[in-house]
Amino acid sequence: WSDLAEKGAQLAAVCDVDAAKARAAGETFRVPYYLDAAKMLEAERLDVADIVTRHDTHRPLAEMALARGLATIVQKPFASTWEDCIAIVEAAQKANAWLAVHENFRFQAPMRAVRKVIDSGAIGTPSWARIRFRTGFDVYKTQPYFYDEEQLAIADVGIHMLDLSRFFLGEVEHISCETQKRNPRIRAEDTATMLLRHQ
């Protein structure tokens, strides 16, 4: 949000239930900080709520922001269950408020460049694609909660791949998937091979 200051964005306040993190963010960005989202929404005059907690808190926090009519951005994965996803969308419709999932991969410069090539017609209408994401980066170090997640590869990075495939090739009408768990220390899948048929 600091990077967007030139375009008129102004970070108004931050919130985290972890007091040390809330204070650190407040001091770093020189804005009021809160430990309770409800109190922040009560005390501050906000236009946008950017919800960057993990999926299990997305629904209550999004409903709280949307009930106040705030434009609301929710990090991926959008919510923990399909029912929660629907509830958030309905809350936005009821409040007539703008709602977005923070799906950032399609906005990255290399991905936009790929889309530009497709749009230029240089390769004709794409009829087949392989989109792959593998990394040696130690995700368990930066996100240790991954060990206990009930859903992992698809919910974390897989959804970025699914969104990219929609961005490049259009909507999907059929999907099948095989998952594997290679790391014995985790609960969920760490590999997903998905086959998509696009409209």
Ligand X SMILES: NC(=O)c1ccc[n+]([C@@H]2O[C@H](COP(=O)([O-])OP(=O)(O)OC[C@H]3O[C@@H](n4cnc5c(N)ncnc54)[C@H](O)[C@@H]3O)[C@@H](O)[C@H]2O)c1
Query: Contact residues for ligand X (CB under 6 A)?
Result: 15-18, 21, 37, 52-55, 57, 61, 75-77, 102, 104, 143, 156
Give the shortest CB-154-to-ligand X separation in angstroms. Answer: 12
Give the shortest CB-199-to-ligand X separation in angstroms. Answer: 26
Give 64-94 as a DSSP string: HHHHTT-EEEEESS--SSHHHHHHHHHHHHH
Task: Say if residues 163 and 148 touch (Cβ distance below 8 Å).
Answer: no
DSSP H or E stretch at residue 163? helix 159-169
Q: Which CB sits closer to ligand X, 21 or 198?
A: 21
Q: Which CB sits closer to ligand X, 41 or 61?
A: 61
Residues in Cβ contact with 142 at an 8 Å cutoff, skipping those fewer than 6 apart: none
Task: Find residue 14's DSSP bridge partners.
Answer: 33
Strand-pair category, 172-180 with 99-102: unpaired
Give the shortest CB-121-to-ligand X separation in angstroms. Answer: 30
Residue of 97, 94, 58, 98 lying closest to 78 (CA atoms): 58
Q: Which CB sits closer to ligand X, 16 or 189?
A: 16
Give the shortest CB-100-to-ligand X separation in angstroms. Answer: 12
